[in-house]
Amino acid sequence: MALLKMKFNQQRRVRLAQGLWLLSWLALTCGAFVFCLGVYLKTELLRRDEVMDNGEIHVVPNILIMVGLASIGTNWIASRVCQDSLDTSRFPRWKVLLLAWFVVAALVCCLLLTVVVLSYALQGRLEESLKVGLRNGIRFYKDTDVPGRCFQKETIDHLQMEFRCCGNNNFKDWFEVQWVSNRYLDFTSQEVKDRIRSNVDNRYLLDGVPFSCCNPASPRPCLQYHLTDSRAHYNYEYQSEELNLYSRGCRQALTDYYMGLMNSTGPGVLSVILIQMSVLLSMRYLQTAVEGAMALEDPEGESEGYLLEKGVKETYQDVRAKVLNVVKFGQVDPAEEASGAAEGEKTTDTSTEKAATPPPAS
């Protein structure tokens, strides 16, 4: 028994084809939107690739780009099928291609749903990637003359000013690394010597931050150095003073930014899934209705359209049986292989006996 069977006369088939044609172009536009969304997200991730430890998060824009292109292609084909469905001489050429079309269209819907899930599930991976990447970026901030790290200082400074953040977790992260290059240190100065000798790693550590951590909205001129020394500045108390630095860490700022981007794609992608599913179901009705009319040899007569020719259980069993047949066809039966090998050995022995038998004397 066919699942969700409906009756279609010629007029209803024409209306279905016209409606599906409009819907397919709407879905094509949505596919272009998904593609552009993936390109934009990919570009934003690549812009700050230096402060990320790994590229696992790139799977989201990669899927969006791939699905967007597939959606554009499948919906363009759907619009062509709608046009040819009104001509009985042109529609049969799509019969074989439509099977592959249904598979690709269903795969597009599944991948779009995967994107929605990954957009929320990868937040932990994104935070960990930013944590390690920013930690390395801050550590290599001073290496402006080291190949491969020349632009690390510029990257971190632009990042802190753009996102109004400081350090990895907060501004105190700069206290734990030497962020001033040895090229700019006067090693004859007693202060420099004392600071280097004050820690076991012989690093020049400061209770200060780079200029890019300064908040221009603060009424007080920026205090970059001696931040923990309340006596170093007039009318300043380290424990109670609201510092004129960005209080938010860059890891949290970047995580909020990227998760905001990906989470905002969720409702849009869900809408695209609904439109794509509508195209998929409507195409199935149009296909079965037109093929039914052609089977009756009455293009203008009434025909049946349905989603599945049989029930869900029967359809599953048929598909399962076909898959098993294909798998069995690709495998070699051990018994047949053994019998083939025995016949080969028998043939070889016979040939050997014939070669060993001397010819009769003349």
Alpha-carbon distances, residue 101 vs 45, 75, 222 (angstroms): 32, 9, 62
Give the per-residue pLDDT at 330.
58
110 lies in some domain: yes
Q: Is 183 in contact with 143 (CB distance < 8 Å)?
A: no
Q: Both ends of the chain: CA-CA distance in Å? A: 81
Reference 129, options 48, 209, 60, 64; nearest CA is 48
314 lies in some domain: no
Reference 163, options 249, 98, 60; nearest CA is 249
Helix (H, G, I), strand (E, B) or coil at 305: strand
Whole-angstrom Cα distance, residue 298 to residue 302?
8
In Å, how far from its chain's centre is CA 297? 47
**What is the sign, positive or negative, of the torsion defined by CA atoms of 213, 218, 220, 221?**
positive
Helix (H, G, I), strand (E, B) or coil at 240: coil
DSSP of 113-156, one letter per residue? HHHHHHHHHTHHHHHHHHHHHHHHHHHTTT-TTSTT-TTHHHHH
169 lies in some domain: no
Give the per-residue pLDDT at 193.
86
Q: Which residues pair with 6 in a beta bridge?
A: 305
Q: For the whole model, what pTM was predicted?
A: 0.75
197 lies in some domain: no
Q: Is 209 in contact with 224 (CB distance < 8 Å)?
A: yes
Q: What percent of the chain has pLDDT over 70?
A: 85
Tokens of 173: 């992260």
241 lies in some domain: no
pLDDT higher than 70, residue 349: no
SS (HEC) of 177-222: CCCCCHHHCCCCCHHHHHHHHCCCCCCCCCCCCCHHHECCCCCCCC
The string of pLDDT tens digits covering residues 190-214 is 888 888 888 767 888 888 899 999 9
pLDDT higher than 70, residue 341: no
146 lies in some domain: no
The boundaries of the domain holding residue 37 are 3-122+261-301
The string of pLDDT tens digits covering residues 62-88 is 999 999 999 999 999 999 998 888 777
pLDDT band at 347 (very low <50, low <70, confident <90, very high): low
142 lies in some domain: no
Whole-angstrom Cα distance, residue 117 to residue 241?
43
pLDDT higher than 80, residue 356: no
Higher pLDDT, 283 or 202: 283
Give the per-residue pLDDT at 252.
93
What is the number of domains present in the chain? 1
Amino acid at 153: K
353 lies in some domain: no
Q: Per-residue pLDDT averaged across 33-42, rounded? A: 93
Higher pLDDT, 290 or 340: 290
The string of pLDDT tens digits covering residues 149-168 is 888 999 999 999 999 999 99
Q: Which residues pair with 140 in a beta bridge?
A: none
Give the per-residue pLDDT at 362.
40
The CB density around residue 57, as the number of other CB atoms within 10 Å, is 21
Whole-angstrom Cα distance, residue 146 to residue 192?
23
